[in-house]
Amino acid sequence: MEIKITCGTGEGQTKISAFDKALYDAGIANYNLIALSSVIPENAKIIESKIDWNEKEHGNRLYVVLAKCIEVQKEKEAWAGLGWIQDELGKGLFVEHSGSSEKEIVELINASLKDMQRTRREKYGKKINHSIACIKCNGNPVCALVCAVYKSTPW
């Protein structure tokens, strides 16, 4: 199974429209997003690549792990990040975080994945991967997001 990691940013008149523009930028605006928790199935291959599915499968369900951050204060930045770790069979874990700096996001991702590994019997290895998005607020609401896209299904 392939899981695609896509990122997007957007600015709008409202928080919702900023989020919608970030979804469009990430290539997944016309789906109904179904939130998943943190588990990566066996044999999963993670591919970091911006996708453009905005004109494809309008209204379908899209199974995702989503990190998003919305900012409304001028001059502040919205940061969102996904982190993941996998074993040699492809099994693993995702974590999603939002914050105000890249350093904060990376620290949260590392701390969460290390802590989550201590809870489990599985050993995922030491390599922690991450994908991060950022946008600066210039007055209107902004949104940064990173999304792990599992699959789409029709209704």
Tens of pLDDT, residues 6-61: 999 999 999 999 999 999 999 999 999 999 999 999 999 999 998 988 888 999 99
**Nearest-CA neighbor of 71 among 101, 41, 33?**
101
Q: What is the pLDDT of residue 84?
A: 98
Mention every residue, 6+ apart, whose C-beta is less than 8 A from residue 121: none
pLDDT surpasses 90 at 126: no
Is the separation of the CB atoms in 30 and 73 below 8 Å?
Answer: no
pLDDT (mean) for 113-129: 92
Sign of CA dihedral 39, 114, 98, 85: negative
Mention every residue, 6+ apart, whose C-beta is less than 8 A from residue 3: 40, 44, 45, 46, 47, 148, 149, 150
pLDDT category of residue 145 using cuts at 50, 70 and 90: very high
Extended beta strands in the chain, E state: 2-11, 32-35, 39-40, 45-48, 61-71, 77-86, 92-99, 129-136, 142-153
% of the chain at pLDDT higher than 90: 92
pLDDT surpasses 90 at 125: no
Q: What is the pLDDT of residue 148?
A: 99
pLDDT category of residue 75 using cuts at 50, 70 and 90: very high
Query: Per the structure block, which two tokens stand in for 12?
Result: 């709008």
- pTM beyond cutoff 0.85: yes
Pick from 122-126, 140-144, 151-155: least confident:
122-126
User: Which domains occur in the chain, in start order?
Assistant: 2-153 (3.50.20.10)
> What average pLDDT does the structure give for the chain?
96
Query: Per the structure block, which two tokens stand in for 56?
Result: 């494809």
If one counts every other C-beta atom within 10 angstroms of the C-beta of residue 107, the result is: 13
